[in-house]
Amino acid sequence: MSEETVHEETTGTKGIPESGTARAAESGTVITDFGIDTTNQSTTEALRDYLVRLRSGDIGSLPAILGLIALVVLFSLLSDVFFSLNNIANLLAQGAGQTIIAIGIVYVLLIGEIDLSAGTASGVAGAVLALHYVENGNLLQGMGSTVFWIFNALMVLGAVLAGLLRIWPGVALSLLGVVLTLVGFHANPWIEMLLAVCVGAAIGCITGFLIAKIGMPSFVVTLALFLAWQGVILQLIGQGGVLGISSSHVLDQVANGNLSTIGSWVLCVVAAGGYAAVTVGGHILRRRRGLVTSPTPLIAAKVLALTVFAVVVTALLTVNRSPSKLIVISGVPYVVPIVLVLLVVGTYVLTRTTYGRHIYAVGGNAEAARRAGINVTQLRASVFVICSSCAAVGAIVYSSKVGSVDPQAGGLNTLLFAVGAAVIGGTSLFGGRGRVADAVIGGAVLAVVSNGLGLLRQPAAVVSIVTGLVLLLAATVDAISRRRAAVAQR
C-alpha cells in the first residue's frame, strides 16, 4: 500500500475534525492514529470549527441560552419589577425543585429511556417526609399498621432488587430507610430529609429492575408507576388533606432561607475559583502533554465571564432586599449551593468517570456497548436510582417552598416541567447527548417564563400555552439538529 493511500485512509477516519484533516492534507503530512490529538488550534481556527459543528447539528444548549437571554430582555422591558432584588432571589428559588428533578431525568434520557413516574415518586418522598414530621417520627400511627408494613416491605424489596443488580448504593439507602422507619426517631428535619432520599432510592431500584432486568418498556412501567405513586400519596395524606412543615425552621429554610453575607461571598469564591482552577489547570496540563485543547484566550474569556457573573449576582443578592426597615433579607438563597453541588457532582460523574462514559456509550448504541463489555442491565437500572433520588431532593426543595405537602404533590405539571427543563436545555430525547448543565439552563428558562408571565398577571392558561410552545420548539430543534448531524456524517 502506498504512502498516499495510507495518508488518505488515516485522515479520512471518522472523528477527526475537518479543519485538522484539511490542514494536514495541504501540508502533505502523514498523520498517525493519534497525531491529530497533538494539534494545537488558534482562536480563529477554534471558532471556525465551532461554526462547523453548529452547521452539522451539534448545537448543544446554545438555543436554550439564546432563548433565556431573549426572555430576560423581554420581561425586563415589559415589567419594572422583573430585575428587582426580591424578584431575582425569588426567581432562583422558584424553579429549583423542578430543576433538581430534571437533573436526575438527564441520566435517564442519556440512555434513551424516559421516567414518567419521577414527579409522583418525588411526591411520595415528600409525603413520607411530611408525615414523619407531623407524627413526630411515628409512621406506624400515621400510616396505619397495614400500610406501614407494606411500605417497609417495598423498601426491603427495593434493597433486594438492587442487590440482585449489584447496585450497592441503592441497597444501602433502601435498608437505611427501613431502619429509620422501624426505629421511629423523633421528628428531626435532617432525619426526615434523609428518609425522603432513601424512599426515592428504593423507588428507583424497583423501577430500574422492572425496566432493565425484566425488559419492560420504560414508558409503560413509569406510566403505571406514575398512577400507582399518585395513589400512594393520596393514601398517605388523605383526600383533601394537607401536611404542613412550615413550622420546622430547618425544613422551611431549605427553599426560603439565605446564606449570610460572608457565606455568600465564600460561595462565590469557591464556585468561581473552583471553576477557574479546574478549567485553567486542565488547560495547562493538556498543553504540557501536547494534547489538543482550546486556545488560551478562549479559556481566559470563559473563566473571566463566569467570575464576573458570579461576583455581580453575589453583590446584588447581598444587598438588603426587605421592603421593611425592621427586617433584613439578604444573601444568596440556600437552593443555589444545593443546585451547584448537584451540578458539579453530576458533571464530574458524566465527564470524568468510567460510569459516565458508559452512560454515553449505552445511549449511543446499547448493543455495541454490551459487546464492549459494559454491564448494560446494571447501568440502565442505576440511572433510575439516580433519577428517583434526585426527585426526592427536588421534593424536599419544593415542599419547603410551599411549606406543605398535599395529594397533588409531584403531579403532572411537576413531571412535565422537569422533563421539559432537560429537553429545553439541550438533552436529546433519543439518548447519547446531553449534560447535567442542560437541566439547569432549561430550568432557568421555564422559571423565567413562569415568573415573567406571573408578573404580567397572565392567567395559568397562558403560562401553560407558552410553556408548551417552548417545549415544542426545543423538541423541534433537537429533531432538526439530529437530522443535520446524520446528513453530515454521510
Instruction: Report CA 250 to chain centroid distance, whole Å.
Output: 24
Reading the block at residue 411, the C-alpha cell is 403531579
Cα(342)–Cα(348) distance, integer angstroms: 10
Among residues 470, 425, 454, 449, the alpha carbon closest in space to that of 71 is found at 449
Classified as helix, coil or strand, 243 is: strand
Closest CA to 212 of 174, 170, 177, 176: 170
**Residue 339 CA: distances (Å) to CA of 248, 293, 342, 394:** 22, 28, 5, 10
pLDDT at residue 30, as a whole number: 41
Please give the model's pTM, rounded to 2 decimal places. Answer: 0.87
Neighbours of 357 (CB within 10 A): 14
CA atoms within 13 A on the CB side of 183: 12
Report residue 181 as a C-alpha cell.
422507619
For residue 264, what is its C-alpha cell? 455568600
Q: What single letter denotes the amino acid at residue 60?
A: G
- Cβ contacts of 30 within 8 Å, gap of 6 or more: 3, 6, 7, 10
**Residue pair 105/118 in contact by the 8 Å Cβ criterion:** yes
Q: Along the 490 residues of the chain, how does pLDDT read in single tens digits?
A: 444 444 443 344 333 344 444 444 444 444 344 444 445 667 787 778 777 777 776 777 788 888 889 889 999 999 888 888 888 888 888 889 999 999 999 999 999 999 999 999 999 999 999 999 999 999 999 999 999 999 999 999 999 999 999 999 999 999 999 999 999 889 999 999 999 999 999 999 999 999 999 999 999 999 999 999 999 999 999 887 899 998 888 999 999 999 999 999 999 999 999 999 999 998 888 888 877 778 888 889 999 999 999 999 999 999 988 887 788 889 999 999 999 999 999 999 999 999 999 999 999 899 999 999 999 999 999 999 999 999 999 999 999 998 999 988 887 678 888 888 898 888 888 888 889 999 999 999 889 988 898 888 888 888 888 888 887 887 787 777 767 766 666 6
Sorted by sequence, the CB contacts under 8 Å of residue 2 that are 6+ apart come out as none
| 69 dihedral zone (left: phi>0; alpha: psi -120 to 50; beta) | alpha
Rounded Cα distance between 394 and 122, Å, is 7
- Looking at residue 41, what is its pLDDT? 67
